[in-house]
Amino acid sequence: MTDLMQIHEIRLKNARDLMSESGLSRTDFAEKVGLSYNLISQYIGKNPTKNIGDETANKIEEAFGKPKGFLDQANAVSISSGDASNKGGIKISPIEFRSGERKPTNVRIPIYKDIKASCGAGIENFLEDVSEYLDIDPYILKIMGIQTKPENLRIIYSAEYSMYPTVAPESPLFVDISDKDPNALKNGNVYVFTHNHELRMKRIFVSYGSNTVKLTSDNPDKKRYPDEFINNEQLNEINFVGRLELALVKP
C-alpha cells in the first residue's frame, strides 16, 4: 500500500512536472492555482517545507483540468502527456469504437458515450439514449475474458482515479446489466449503481452474518478514497445497474 510519504513525494513531482510541462513560472503557476507565491514556494520550491495536502491537490488538479486523484499517480504527467520526447512514457487515450463491416454473426452492444461512472463522488446521469453501437464478433468478447451473454452488456466510461489501478480514467466499461439483484451479488466484485441520483462504481463486500456491507475503492489512498459501510437494509435501497465485466483500458 502506498504510504503517506510516497504520496507526498508523488504529488510534489507531479506538481513540478505540471508547471514545467505548461511552461509556467512559479508566479504564473501560483496565479493559475489561486494560491500565493510564497505558499506555492513552500509546496514545490527547491527546498519545500510543506506537503501538498488533499485540498491543495484538488486545487491544482482543477486548475489544470485533471481528474481527481491525478496528482497521486506516479509519473502522471509523463503518462498523460504523450510527448514524443517522452520515450519512456505510456499514453492512455480515450478509446472510441469505429464502425466496420457488419457481419451476420456479430452482436450489437449499446454504447453510452456521455455516461461516466465517477468511481468516487458520482456523476448525476444514467443510461438513457444510446450514443452508438459496437458491432463485434462474440468470439472476440470471449477472448477478452467476457463471460456473460452479449445481450446483457452495456458500455459506459470511467471518469477518475478512485478505482485505479483496476480501472484507468476514460476506460470503456463493459457492464453486465443482468447481475444487479442486491440479494445475489457476487461478493468482492465491482458494481455500477446509482445512489442519491449519482452514478458510482465500487467493489462490494457483503458480510451477511454481521449485517455489514463494505463499498470500497481499489485506489490504495484510503485517506482520499475511504471505505464506506452500510447495512443490508441500506443495500436494498441502492439501484444497481450491473456488474463490471471488463475495463478495456488498464494502466
DSSP state of 154: E
Taking alpha carbons only, the member of 38, 23, 47, 73 closest to residue 224 is 73
pLDDT on residue 215: 95
- CATH of span 4-81: 1.10.260.40
Q: According to CATH, where is 2.10.109.10 located in the chain? A: 107-247
* Strand pairing report for 228-230 and 172-176: unpaired
Under CATH, what is the fold of the domain 107-247? Umud Fragment, subunit A (2.10.109)
Backbone angles phi, psi at 231, to 5 degrees: -105, 175
- Per mean pLDDT, which range of 47-51, 64-68, 132-136, 179-183 is the poorest? 64-68
pLDDT on residue 23: 80
- Per mean pLDDT, which range of 65-74, 79-88, 104-113, 231-240 is the poorest? 79-88
Cβ atoms of residues 172 and 251 within 8 Å: no
Average pLDDT over residues 39-61: 89
- Per mean pLDDT, which range of 112-121, 126-135, 219-228 is the poorest? 112-121
Angle between helices 37-44 and 26-33 (to 10 degrees): 110
Q: Quickly count: other Cβ atoms within 10 Å of residue 171's Cβ.
A: 24
Q: What is the pLDDT of residues 183-237, one digit of tens each?
A: 899 999 999 998 777 888 999 998 877 789 999 999 888 888 899 999 988 988 8
pLDDT higher than 50, residue 83? no
Q: Which own/partner pairs from 41-46 qualify as long-range (CB within 8 Å, at least 24 positions apart)? A: 43/12, 43/15, 44/12, 44/15, 44/16, 44/19
Q: According to CATH, where is 1.10.260.40 located in the chain? A: 4-81
Highest mean pLDDT among 25-29, 34-38, 150-154, 198-202: 150-154
Q: What is the pLDDT of residues 225-236, one digit of tens each?
A: 899 999 988 988
